[in-house]
């Protein structure tokens, strides 16, 4: 149980919107691919098109595209993935997924704007517009996995998926259903075992 769950009413803790590993990775790949794809288009338009129009060597453009792919996925893995994990964790009690999608747009936009400002890219509010591409990609990724999320009880045992609880809850539910449907199994085995053991000591 997560820290603070015990202080919440049972009605609040009973159902949570969670992402399992499959949904999280799928959403991250979709969002990162969209963002990196947009950056590739910008680089191609800004450097490749003028080089092709002027007839100059465009070999450097391919190098820039490779750098964009490498650093785009790298930045997304180092910064965006942990941010998405924390955001998904904090939004578990919220059942309305439209709020999830809106948060996945607003929070990454502001976070990367602040990160860019710290790195010296500027604090101007107009810079929120280019950084909004990050939030838009994250929102699309979250929207794409809206049908992959599930509402699950928060009382699963530790050691489940770091984001979702589907596998553990499913296994526990199946085990409980098996026990309920076969309440006499252990008793039958015990009776059979006693019968086998006592046969040699009976009358001939």
How do the pLDDT tens digits run along the chain, 204 residues long? 443 444 444 444 457 888 889 999 999 999 999 999 999 999 888 888 887 787 777 678 888 999 999 999 999 999 999 999 999 999 999 999 999 999 999 999 999 999 989 988 888 888 899 999 999 999 999 999 999 987 655 444 333 444 443 444 444 444 444 444 444 444 444 444 444 444 444 444
Residues 6 or more apart whose CB falls under 8 angstroms from that of 143 comprise 101
Calpha distance 36→71 (Å, rounded): 9
* Pairing assessment for the beta strands 16-18 and 150-152 based on DSSP bridges: antiparallel
pLDDT at 56: 76
pLDDT at 36: 96
The model's pTM is 0.66
Q: How far is CA 204 from CA 62, 187, 192, 199, in A?
A: 92, 27, 19, 9
Comparing C-alpha atoms, which of 181, 1, 35 is closest to residue 104?
A: 35
pLDDT at 60: 81
pLDDT at 152: 58
pLDDT at 16: 84
Calpha distance 197→181 (Å, rounded): 28
Please report which helix (H) or strand (E) contains residue 152, including its range.
strand 150-152
Please report which helix (H) or strand (E) contains residue 90, including its range.
helix 81-90
CA 149 to chain centre: 9
pLDDT at 176: 42
């Amino acid at each position: 149980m997560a820290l603070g769950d015990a202080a919440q009413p049972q009605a609040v803790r009973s159902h949570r919107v969670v992402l399992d590993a499959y949904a999280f990775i799928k959403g991250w790949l979709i969002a990162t691919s969209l963002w990196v794809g947009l950056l590739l288009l910008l680089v191609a338009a800004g450097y490749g098109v003028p080089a092709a129009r002027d007839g100059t060597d465009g070999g450097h453009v391919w190098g820039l595209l490779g750098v964009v792919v490498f650093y785009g996925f790298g930045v997304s893995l180092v910064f965006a993935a942990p941010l998405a994990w924390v955001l998904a964790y904090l939004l578990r009690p919220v059942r309305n997924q439209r709020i999830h999608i809106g948060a996945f747009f607003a929070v990454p936009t502001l976070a990367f704007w602040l990160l860019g400002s710290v790195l010296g890219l500027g604090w101007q509010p107009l810079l929120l517009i280019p950084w909004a591409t990050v939030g838009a990609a994250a929102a699309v990724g979250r929207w794409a996995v809206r049908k992959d999320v599930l509402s699950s009880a928060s009382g699963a045992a530790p050691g489940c998926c770091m984001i979702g609880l589907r596998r553990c809850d499913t296994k526990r539910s199946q085990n409980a259903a098996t026990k309920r449907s076969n309440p006499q199994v252990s008793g039958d085995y015990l009776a059979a075992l006693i019968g086998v053991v006592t046969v040699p000591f009976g009358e001939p």
